[in-house]
């Protein structure tokens, strides 16, 4: 299967790792995963500082390589909320609870363009020790670390 997934991944935390892992699981042994990585310009709208595209890409590449997935993969720039999803042929999109509404928009826009709808696979967000979602914002604020452990 050909799978697409996207994000800013700054910093790359356990929730992101679950999203990426699910993408490779769905792709299967002979599949392919396309990871859209927010460009610096697109990520600039976040409410906390973002690591540079190159630093984030190196972290993402290292995680994927070190995980030993059998599917092939590549990282492409994500310049807006849809990236290449509107015009690329692929089978499924992997999203979090937070980004699920965008996946519905993607399928609606694909249909308007005469393209086939894609399957949507939603993961549940990973919870921190306090039962709330792990998020880059919470990590930046110093509430939790990238594994969701509380920082004292």
Mean pLDDT throughout 141-147?
95
* Residue of 8, 5, 6, 4 whose CA lies nearest to 56: 8
Q: Spell out a b/e string for 109-129, using b for 16 or more CB atoms within 10 Å of the CB, else e.
A: ebeeeebeebeebbbebbebe
At residue 48, the pLDDT reads: 75
**Residue 108 CB: number of other CB atoms within 10 A?**
11
The model's pTM is 0.94
At residue 94, the pLDDT reads: 98
- Reported as a pLDDT band with limits 50, 70 and 90, residue 41 is very high
At residue 47, the pLDDT reads: 73
Ranges of each domain in the chain: 2-141
Token digits of residue 106: 């993607």
- Fold (CATH) for 2-141: Rossmann fold (3.40.50)
CB burial of residue 90 (10 Å; 0-12, 13-18, 19+): middle
pLDDT tens figures, 51-92: 999 999 999 999 999 999 999 999 999 999 999 999 999 999
Token digits of residue 34: 């396309």
Distances in Å between the Cα of 109 and the Cα atoms of 16, 103, 140 are 25, 10, 34
Backbone angles phi, psi at 150, to 5 degrees: -65, 140
């Amino acid at each position: 299967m050909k799978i697409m997934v996207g994000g800013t991944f700054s910093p790359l935390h356990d929730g992101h790792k679950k999203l990426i892992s699910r993408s490779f699981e769905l792709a299967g042994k002979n599949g392919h995963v396309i990871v859209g990585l927010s460009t610096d310009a697109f990520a600039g709208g976040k409410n906390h500082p973002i690591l540079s595209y190159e630093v984030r890409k190196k972290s993402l590449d290292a995680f994927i390589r070190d995980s030993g997935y059998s599917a092939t993969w590549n990282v492409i720039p994500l310049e807006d909320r849809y990236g290449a999803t509107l015009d690329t042929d692929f089978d499924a999109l992997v999203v979090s609870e937070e980004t699920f509404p965008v996946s519905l928009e993607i399928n609606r826009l694909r249909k308007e363009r005469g393209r086939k709808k894609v399957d949507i696979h939603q993961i549940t967000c990973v919870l921190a020790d306090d039962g709330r979602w792990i998020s880059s914002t919470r990590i930046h604020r110093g509430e939790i670390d990238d594994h969701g452990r509380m920082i004292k």
